[in-house]
Structure 1
Amino acid sequence: MKLQQLLSYTRKAVDEYQMIEEGDHIAVGISGGKDSLTLLYALHGLKRFYPNHFELSAVTVDLGYEACDFSPVVELCKELNVPYHIVKTDIAHILFEDRKEPNPCSLCAKMRKGALNQEVKKMGCNKVAYAHHKDDIVETMLLSLFFEGRFYSFSPRTYLDRMDLTVIRPIMFVDEADVIGFQHKYDLPVVKSRCPIDGLTKRQYAKDLIRMLNQENPGVKQRMFTAILNGNIQGWPERIPHTR
């Protein structure tokens, strides 16, 4: 996927779900993975021509894994002229050594988002961008259906009233396969995950299941995504389709 196509998908999401307003200061949550680095490129590119002017910063929550080096991301942000903050935490130590959590994903996500949102507020940002793509949205729907008994996926735009902060997901229309292609084409400086259960989660199960279903029934992932967009899910903002 070329940058022009990434920007087109991003503009579509931002326009249709009214994600960016004049004067916003948006923090990009950077894990160091391919998704968040692609999002950084997307918003950096969009900033050059989007009619609503906005500021852009980036922030990483360092979970405390040894040998996790974010210096390539530091260099990328310097190259893009995007201010970059790293928040040091002991989340990995707490989860795997202190608590010895057998299923740490939910607690990890909660602690990570808490640390991220606090730093974002300190930075003076009013919005934070998460790098969830189309596959993430479909996987979340399946996980909610299977394990919670409800038809749900996270919203393109969510206001967190306790934090006075808005979460946006600008690459929601991008397929993971395209993110992988973008990563290789532009040689993104990916920081490898050090999580000991990476690839062994229920989300990985949902990812593998969708891949199998899509191989057996070509187009099924896109149809599930369309069902989500049209599903009137509680908490989702109104969609205003743009024909450009």
Structure 2
Amino acid sequence: MSTVLPLAEPVLRRDPRAAAREANKLARRLRHQVGKAIADFGMIEDGDRVMVCLSGGKDSYTMLDILLQLQKKAPVAFSIVAVNLDQKQPGFPEHVLPGYLRSLGVDFHIIEQDTYSVVSRVVPEGKTMCSLCSRLRRGALYTWAAENGITRIALGHHRDDLVATFFLNLFFHAKLSGMPPKLLSDDGRHVVIRPLAYVREDDIAAYAQAKAFPIIPCNLCGSQENLQRRQVGLMMRQWEKDSPGRIETIARALGDIRPSQLSDANLFDFLSLGRHGDAALPDAHAWLAGEPHGVDRGDD
């Protein structure tokens, strides 16, 4: 009696044409979102020299790629220079970025500054290094920008970063503030822009995979995760899982502020609201003292 062998499981192969269509659709969406952010916030003007800060991560690769695409058909003329800070951390593949950027034919510069040794020496073992590392990195980039005629500094923060920073400030610093799409540096010398302000992180991850960017992981601090940011990230992912679209709703809310519906007397004139006289209003001390208005206390 012959033995009947079971049929092999069918191998599901993804249609490469469908994958290409999806990749093109995603690229169009990213170009639209980045172009809209640039227009909405006046990020780039005619004649700007834009420094694209390239870390080697998916976000900055995507930012550079989309800006180069938009540059070809932009309504204004602007130049791009990709800048990376080589922090001299052990094992950093310093050949990857120069090789990739040369293949694109894009103007670029590598800043060499040993911030790794500084951070490793100053921060106790086991502590999060991100804050100090960020300050040193920002200082090096700002210095180079000032010395090389840069008019715009482009950072790769995306929509989810903006929302996460809002919640970090809300939960841990008791203030309603976030990460603006465009800002002036504290010293007033640099305009910083975030062209990915409308772009979802998941879309960036998918785009980076489709483009096969040569990703360089950040292991300066042994892949430490800032505990507070990690907590907020977990919360946001759970929200999005339970209620898809919630993060997008929150992101839109950051651009629709109603000062009269909050409690900041510096943003809205609550004192004048509904007043029916010109006399000075009692201050908090007068209210807390519990002394009726107009009572003569007599001589002390």
Asked if TM exceeds 0.5, the reply is yes
Report the Cα distance in structure 1 between the residues aligned to 2:186 and 2:120, rounded to whole angstroms: 31
1:166, distance to aligned residue in structure 2 (A)? 0.6
Report Cα offsets for 1:131-159 as digits up to 9, x if no partner.
00011001101100011111111111112
Contact 1:26 1:126 in 2 (8 A): yes
1:232, distance to aligned residue in structure 2 (A)? 6.4
2:109 aligns to what SS in structure 1? strand
Aligned counterpart in structure 2 of residue 81 of structure 1, from 105, 114, 118 = 105
Counterpart residue number, 1:60: 84
Counterpart residue number, 2:208: 183
Show structure 1 runs of 5+ residues with no match. 235-244
1:189, distance to aligned residue in structure 2 (A)? 1.1
Task: Look up the equivalent residue of 1:177 and give its one-letter code.
Answer: D
Task: Look up the equivalent residue of 2:249 and give its one-letter code.
Answer: R
Number of matched pairs: 234
Change (3 A) 1:108 1:50: same
State the superposition RMSD in angstroms. Answer: 1.9
Larger radius of gyration: 2
1:198 aligns with 2:223: yes
Report the Cα distance in structure 1 between the residues aligned to 2:252 and 2:210, rounded to whole angstroms: 28
Report the Cα distance in structure 2 between the residues aligned to 1:16 and 1:232, rounded to whole angstroms: 19
Task: Look up the equivalent residue of 2:255 and give its one-letter code.
Answer: L
Report the Cα distance in structure 1 between the residues aligned to 2:258 and 2:186, rounded to whole angstroms: 22
Contact 2:159 2:196 in 1 (8 A): yes
1:228 aligns with 2:254: yes
Report the Cα distance in structure 1 between the residues aligned to 2:163 and 2:190, rounded to whole angstroms: 25
1:85 aligns to what SS in structure 2? strand
2:43 aligns to what SS in structure 1? coil
- Where do 1:1-244 residues align within 5 Å? 1=23, 2-100=26-124, 102-160=127-185, 162=187, 164-198=189-223, 200-201=225-226, 202-231=228-257
State TM-score, norm by structure 2. Answer: 0.73
State TM-score, norm by structure 1. Answer: 0.90
1:229 aligns to what SS in structure 2? coil
Q: Identity of paired residues, percent?
A: 28
Change (3 A) 1:232 1:94: farther
Report Cα offsets for 1:12-54 as digits up to 9, x if no partner.
1001111010000000011110000100001111110011110
Task: Look up the equivalent residue of 1:78 and give its one-letter code.
Answer: R
Structure 1 residue ranges, 4+ long, deviating more than 6 angstroms after superposition? none
Report the Cα distance in structure 1 between the residues aligned to 2:258 and 2:144, rounded to whole angstroms: 32
Change (3 A) 1:77 1:134: same
After superposing the two structures, state which structure 1 stretch, 115-124 or 161-170, moved more: 161-170
Contact 2:128 2:224 in 1 (8 A): no
Task: Look up the equivalent residue of 1:227 and give its one-letter code.
Answer: A
After superposing the two structures, state which structure 1 stretch, 86-95 or 127-136, moved more: 86-95
Counterpart residue number, 2:8: none
2:218 aligns to what SS in structure 1? coil
1:192, distance to aligned residue in structure 2 (A)? 1.5
Show structure 2 runs of 5+ residues with no match. 1-22, 265-300
Contact 2:123 2:129 in 1 (8 A): no
2:36 aligns to what SS in structure 1? helix
Contact 2:162 2:197 in 1 (8 A): yes
Where relative contact order (Cα < 8 A, 6+ residues apart) is larger, the structure is: 1
1:98, distance to aligned residue in structure 2 (A)? 4.1
